[in-house]
Chains A and B, each alone.
Chain A
Amino acid sequence: MKKRFIYSSLLIAGTFLASCTKDFTDINTDPNKTTATLFNPNFLLAQSQVQFSNTGYDQLLFQSMWSQALASTYDYYGNGDKYVFRGSGQGYNGRTWDNGYNAATLVFEMKNLVKGNAAQSNLDNVASIMKVLIFQRVTDAYGDIPYSEALLAKEGNVTPVYDTQRAIYTSMLSELEAAVAALDVAKAKPTSDLFYGGDIAQWKKLGNSLMVRLAMRLVKVDPATARTYVEKAYASGTMTSIADNAKVQPDNANGNGSSNAAALLVNDDFREVRWSKPLIDYMKSNNDPRISAIAEISTGTGKKANEAQIAGNNTASLQVGLPNGYDLSGGATDVSRAPAYPGTSPADASVAGDAAAPVGKYSRPRFLVYDDRNSINMLLTYGETELLLAEAATRGWNTGVAATHFANALRANMLSLAQLNTTGVATVDAAAITAYVASHPLVPATALNQINMEYWVETASTFNFNENWSNWRRSGFPVLTPVTYAGQFTNGTIPRRIQYKLNLASTNGVNYNAAVSRLTGGDTFTARVWWDVQ
């Protein structure tokens, strides 16, 4: 018996000896992750692209309604529609910030991993273009942000200084110029590129088109720089067709579905997020053939019908936009008191427990187009670039003929809608496009208005509301009437900036405070970013 005991204890001890001798370094190595030596840095590009393009609530809650492209009576959208905090209110401030920096971190690390590797220089330069694409969105939203010292935690800098937007733009333009110039079609292509499948020529065009967008932001604050870079970019070669559009095709089956669709498909959002009155009115006044491609009214009546996730009626003449600034409170701002209220969509008596839908007769973003979980995320298009070039030419800069660019843009913008879905459900009739382009020539006297209104329609129809709102601030088009509503965080004006995200005061206080002190009126939604001069 004793022997048996001794045997067993030795056996136990021996068993553990065997498992104890492994090196601690081995134990402290994560078996499910890999190190730089084995990892393929290309993978970070695709991750950055899909992450950056997938915005959803990041732009729906604020931007989409500030520029009055969408409207909603739904309380949750009060932040955008009425400039009052709703839902998590200030908690949403950080969405554009976080999404931007998270995506930028990926391409920045990619640059680190290919640093000094001449064979991978294209990946390095593509990363630089991505970085500028990302940082433009962030600085346009907040103003001064960490740029020169951003993303350097690995080097030990965890409290980056906030660069002025002027410095950021200067830096972005020169980095972009250098990156575009250094792209080399003869060298290795990026292998995980969701934009162009690694086509370097297209990246060059994107780089130049992005340079146009960057430069045109500066028309009011620094027209000389703007002109220099727009002309450089034009000379170097911008996008030439809608095939050059920078876009990401989501992959719903693999967990990367469209976040726009995911947001809109929530019951209340589906029932109460509508195209705005200014947008539908403008498109109708132009007989814009895109109306039927983008807008519809629920088929059937009542609340249940407005929650039923099926295609609606997209007949152009029936479409009605919802004015911004209304709610369902039953008070003075109740939607029933809106001018030309089309009436409720009455309850369907045949449906148990149905109720009237107060905004049921307003046009919503078309189900088959925008609620498609694989609908394209559009980031920068040929049409937008042509519009900006038309504006540059109108300003007398050396970027070709304004009217030609404008006509190209109109055609491209209508054709691009076919790209939104793999089904091409938003395709606009070719004859209608030709007719529209012919009947809407650019008139020099109203050129800026025409160009920027089209920019507004295009960025709305492609759900690129970050750009939609930024270009409104830049150009002043469309001319919008601010919503007035009690308890606004802007005192009756449309927000021109996003307040910094909440915890910056605690994570990077000194630099945050320095940045805030440079803002006229403090860290508010009404302060203006550097390029947004009055």
Chain B
Amino acid sequence: MKINQKLQGAQLKQSSPKLRVAANFAFASLLFLNLDASATVLAPNTLLTKTAYNTTFTKIKIADIRITGKVLDETGQPLAGVSVKTKTGNIGTVTDAGGSFTLSVPENAILVISYIGYSPQEVAVAGKTSVSVRLQPNNKDLNEVVVTALGIKKEARKVGYALTTVKGDDLNIAKETNVATSLTGRVAGLSVNGNSGGPGSSARILLRGVTSFGASSPLFVINGVPMDNTQRGQSSEWGGADYGDGISNINPDDIETMTVLKGQSASALYGSRAANGVILITTKGGKKNSGIGVEYSSNFQIDQAVDNTDFQDVYGQGEFGLKPVTAAGALSSGSLGWGAKLDGSQVIAYNGNSYPYSKTDDNYLKFYRTGHTFTNTVSVDGGNENGTFRLSAANLQANSIVPNSGLNRKTFNFNGSQAITKKLNVNVVVNYIDELAKNKASLSDGPGNPNNVTFLAANQAQSILAPGFDANGKELTFTNDTYVTNPYFAAEKFVTNIGRKRFISSMQAKYDFTDWIYAQIRLGYDNSNNTALRIEPTGTGYLSNNGSMFQTTGQLTELNSDVLIGVKHDIVKDLLNFDLSAGGNIRKNTNDTYRIEGVNGFIIPNFYSLTNFGSRNSSYTYSRTQTNSAYYTADFNFKTYLTLSTTGRYDVYSTLKDGNNGIFSPSVSGSFNFAELAKIPGLDFGKLRVSYAQTSGEPKDAYGTDVYYTVNNSVNGVSAGGFSNQLPNLFLKPFTLKEFEVGTELKFLKGRLTLDVSYFARKTNNEIINSTIDNSTGYTNRYIATGSTQNRGLEVELGGTVIQSNDFTWAPSFNFTYVKNKILTTDGGANADQTLGTYRPQNANLALVAGLPGPQIMAYDYLRDASGNIVYANGIPQRGALKAMGSTVPKIYGGFTNNFSYKKVSLSILADYRFGNKVLSGTNYYSIFRGLNKMTLEGRETGVVGPGVNANGTPNTTNLRAEDYYQGLARNISALNVLDGSFIKLRQVSLGYTFGKETLGRSPFSAITLSLVGRNLWTIMKHTDNIDPESTFSTDIRYAGIEGTSLPFTRTYGFNLNIKFKK
């Protein structure tokens, strides 16, 4: 702050014209825009020596009267930072930390006291020397200011498209280790699905449905600067762990608000990556003139695994109705529940010991421990007249329910704002994140997957698998499918450590030439250094060597430099004015990753180092992309009730070929505050908004437009080479997305009831898709630009305050989303299905199918004859054609929040729901195949003769052993694994009590809030028997809705303590 004080007193030349300054900024803009800025304009040196700023301030006229005052909020607490101005506007100040102000004003002045969120008040001085003003909250939100694209603040009533703001408090009381997951059920149009991969796992975030073939997450913009949200590694049908995504790094305690910009006209200014929508994160900062405040928040939560399985407990481990009689036999049937009826006899297990052949109470869930997450954040904030700051440090320690696995994350956040002069304001935000996820659990497929413990027969105690290895460290495999790793061995010995050191920073300088023209330069840099260490340990059952190891080190960067010039002007005062911003952006992304892998197993067993190999393979990935953009946004406001807004953007993408890489995308939107014109009783605010926008997109990856060859490892000294099985496309162009949106926002009865409804229709054209083709074509994938997707939907947010008395309020809010997605075309002509992901049994997959919502589960139903009889061969039902069985993305979703407060007690309850989606369940497949599913009970004693006919029309009379029948059935009829994923869940409950000043008295605290929180407390409704319908092993849209062998669903309980120290 000292620097600032010096500045205040500095005397500066005032000779230099403002225009020079403008030229200076314009020059900088040109540099940023990468246009041909010629040095002949003016050499920078010359410019600088000649430049000075008019920084004279506090030119206060000597006034007639000195007035002091105090501004209080509705509860009587002082309000800091409140603007106090004379109505003529030439004299003003803001209140200090104690809510006080002092001002010298003419005797007859009228003071206007205004503060965001409160109704402004006018006070006539009328000779008084002291006033006390109590501001009332502005329920009508008429002057609510929202942050829109590029960080431009707008009055909510002028915005011609849908957006929803979520406050930080809704995210940080009951914490998720990935803050995106906390948005579940809170915003109409937004669906969030966290991955079942333990702390810090990724989230699949879809705004307005499957908007494109890639349907990736919305663009996250932190304090005006886009941040990288790359998914760093996921599981597939062949297993793997969730390496987390970009948003999971953010500490919820640092978030002031998250604003979801839903429509394309909102995101048109961000270009291609905003095609899936934009979520703006504003981190907390200090308040002006607020003094130094210290806040400490501590959160402790425990996670408990929930058993969703409902397996049969009549028959035990074994095969063909027999109990194992030898250790080898027990190993052979290790995960199979096809044994005899449980009879309490002693039966041999894989380890040679005998155990009672009866239902165990030591079931798989006991393998998991109670997880706990402990988060501590301390922050210091403050501000004087010219600057604000906030500094926070946080530590998160999350222990997964999987033994030996967890996440540690340290975050440091600084947000500082400083008025260098009255016209020049500088803002710096720095986020540093140091994160290490230890032993991320493998999901989906069996190798190294601790969740293999899910599949045990009724008599198998999970503890007999412990410790998972013998005295030599060799895995004790418990089934003769060695690719099903012993869960204890997997948890204890496998290593998947994912580290990230990340630095997200933004610097912004804004210069106000006048009160109606400003220029702004912004630089955003997001740099993450990622490491991954994976060890398949010595003794791993499926390995034929001493174990493997790889290590990757990579750097991802995103650099955004942009410039923005804003002009606000009245064309006709109080009738027509315009608000214009124009600017440019250069975005650069790089990925620089090295990977080193040991060859042929460790030489010395149990010594896990890359040095411990005969040789090493290494690979290096480098890619970089750049987008140059220029854009403008212009608002024309007619009086206060009509705003017409238009934006335009021109992008040039480096990922496309010269001549095909530039595209202009426009948008236009309008908002009409009709309630201002026609007074309707009870209606305080009524806005109609309409918008039409086009955005463009580029290929997901660099280098997709050229043919390349590589040099591979030599074979006995003979050079070898190859090329990618991804076929490039030399003729790709940017694709387009067009959206029409209409909506209304209504507020009744002084804000007691609010309604926000939007309808949208959007369509992509010439989308660039990476289409699966068969190896027989020479390639496995190709880029084509023939995709087209359509989304139409309705979003409703209904809120209100049902009861509002002095002590008690009840404010419910409900949101509802309906999205109808349709894949219009896939590969153009033939419109072949675009195959996406699958699960390990590989008898079903996801695909984008023209004419149907994406992604569809493609599965095999029964083969039926003309009369509808099931057709058998050798007693096993035969599969019919591969058929689309429904989309994995919900059609209807939303949430219902109820906030109650009684005096100092607050209670918040959030329930959310999802309807109309299907799940492809690997658990269901394995439960049938392994004889654990209850449906396999039928025919155990007698064998199964399935009802139906043989191919020749004769009735099926083949009697098969239950095991043979059900295994054949599971293999052939994958439709059995297509489940209804609808649910209603009690997502979050928090109960808080605030100790205010009156209780805390002379203690050093100004407020202490203690909350009890719970998440995922109760699944009110679901239709899936053995799984949680949200369970998934990958957040990639290609695997959406596929589940299997992942961490169980968890319930979370905990408390949150927030302490504010006195200033």
- Contact residues of A with B, CB < 8 Å? 1-3, 5-7, 9-10, 12-14, 16-17, 19-21, 24-25, 27-36, 39-40, 42-44, 46-47, 50, 73-76, 85, 87-91, 97-98, 101-102, 104-106, 108-109, 145-146, 150-154, 157-160, 191-194, 248-257, 261-268, 270, 272, 303, 327-331, 334, 352-353, 355-358, 373, 486-488, 491, 502-510
Q: Are A46 and B971 in touch, CB under 8 angstroms? A: no
Q: Are A160 and B777 in touch, CB under 8 angstroms? A: yes
Q: Are A24 and B716 in touch, CB under 8 angstroms? A: no
Residues of A within 8 A of B654 (CB): 24, 27-28
Q: With A47-B721, A151-B776, A352-B471 known to touch, is A30 a contact of B967 (CB < 8 Å)?
A: no
Q: With A40-B719, A355-B327 known to touch, is A502 a contact of B832 (CB < 8 Å)?
A: no
Is the CB of B332 closer than 8 A to any CB of chain A?
yes
Q: Which of A98, A153, A303 contacts B328 (CB 8 A)?
A: A303
Residues of A within 8 A of B428 (CB): none
Q: Are B51 and A6 in touch, CB under 8 angstroms? A: yes
Residue on A nearest B563 in the bound complex, by CB: A13
Is the CB of B858 closer than 8 A to any CB of chain A?
yes
Chain A to chain B contacts (Cβ below 8 Å), 11 pairs = A10-B48, A13-B561, A19-B588, A24-B652, A34-B711, A39-B721, A91-B842, A104-B778, A153-B778, A254-B615, A486-B964
Q: Are A2 and B352 in touch, CB under 8 angstroms? A: no
Q: With A17-B31, A253-B600, A503-B835 known to touch, is A47 a contact of B782 (CB < 8 Å)?
A: no
Q: Which of B55, B351, B827, B964 contacts A2 (CB 8 A)?
A: B55
Q: B846 CB to closest chain A CB, in angstroms? A: 11
Interface-centre pick from A109, A154, A328 (highest chain B CB count, 10 A): A328
Residue on B nearest A31 in the bound complex, by CB: B622
A486 to B471, CA, bound (A): 39
Residues of B within 8 A of A24 (CB): 626, 652, 654, 658, 661
Residue on B nearest A50 in the bound complex, by CB: B715
Q: Are B620 and A28 in touch, CB under 8 angstroms? A: no
Residues of A within 8 A of B705 (CB): 28
Q: Are A151 and B541 in touch, CB under 8 angstroms? A: no
Q: Are B721 and A152 in touch, CB under 8 angstroms? A: no
Residue on B nearest A254 in the bound complex, by CB: B713
Q: B407 CB to closest chain A CB, in angstroms? A: 33
Residue on B nearest A485 in the bound complex, by CB: B964
Q: Are B712 and A507 in touch, CB under 8 angstroms? A: no
Q: Are B34 and A331 in touch, CB under 8 angstroms? A: no
A272 to B328, CA, bound (A): 11
Q: Are A257 and B600 in touch, CB under 8 angstroms? A: yes
Is the CB of B759 closer than 8 A to any CB of chain A?
no
Q: Which 7 A-B pairs have the closest CB atoms?
A: A265-B544, A43-B721, A33-B708, A487-B964, A153-B777, A151-B778, A13-B31
Interface string of B452-470 (1 = CB under 8 A from A): 0000000000000000001
Interface-centre pick from A33, A50, A352 (highest chain B CB count, 10 A): A33
Q: Are B777 and A194 in touch, CB under 8 angstroms? A: no
Residues of B within 8 A of A507 (CB): 772-774, 832, 835
Q: With A12-B523, A328-B332 known to touch, is A108 a contact of B778 (CB < 8 Å)?
A: yes
Is the CB of B421 closer than 8 A to any CB of chain A?
yes
Is the CB of B12 closer than 8 A to any CB of chain A?
yes
Q: Which of A35, A194, A329 contacts B319 (CB 8 A)?
A: A329
A156 to B523, CA, bound (A): 44
A75 to B481, CA, bound (A): 7
Q: Are B874 and A504 in touch, CB under 8 angstroms? A: no
Q: B787 CB to closest chain A CB, in angstroms? A: 15
Residue on B nearest A329 in the bound complex, by CB: B319
Q: Are A5 and B509 in touch, CB under 8 angstroms? A: yes
Q: Are B561 and A16 in touch, CB under 8 angstroms? A: yes
Given contacts A145-B776, A329-B319, 20 further A-B contacts (CB under 8 A): A3-B48, A5-B424, A13-B32, A17-B34, A29-B706, A32-B621, A32-B622, A32-B710, A33-B703, A43-B709, A50-B715, A108-B778, A150-B777, A158-B782, A265-B544, A266-B482, A331-B320, A356-B327, A488-B874, A506-B858
Q: Are A505 and B482 in touch, CB under 8 angstroms? A: no
Interface-centre pick from B326, B470, B775, B961 (highest chain A CB count, 10 A): B775
Residues of A within 8 A of B840 (CB): 88, 91
Is the CB of B625 closer than 8 A to any CB of chain A?
yes
Q: Are B332 and A329 in touch, CB under 8 angstroms? A: yes
A43 to B625, CA, bound (A): 30
Q: With A17-B31, A32-B621, A507-B772 known to touch, is A330 a contact of B325 (CB < 8 Å)?
A: yes
Q: Which of A20, A50, A74, A357 contacts B480 (CB 8 A)?
A: A74
Q: A462 CB to closest chain B CB, in angstroms? A: 19
Q: A267 CB to closest chain B CB, in angstroms? A: 6
A414 to B481, CA, bound (A): 36
Is the CB of B543 closer than 8 A to any CB of chain A?
yes
Q: With A5-B420, A25-B658, A97-B776 known to touch, is A42 a contact of B426 (CB < 8 Å)?
A: no
Q: Which of B617, B656, B708, B727 contacts A153 (CB 8 A)?
A: B727
Q: Are A267 and B542 in touch, CB under 8 angstroms? A: yes
Q: A6 CB to closest chain B CB, in angstroms? A: 6
Q: Are A6 and B48 in touch, CB under 8 angstroms? A: yes
Residues of A within 8 A of B624 (CB): 27
Q: A14 CB to closest chain B CB, in angstroms? A: 6
Q: With A502-B843, A506-B847 known to touch, is A249 a contact of B716 (CB < 8 Å)?
A: yes
Q: Are A487 and B968 in touch, CB under 8 angstroms? A: yes
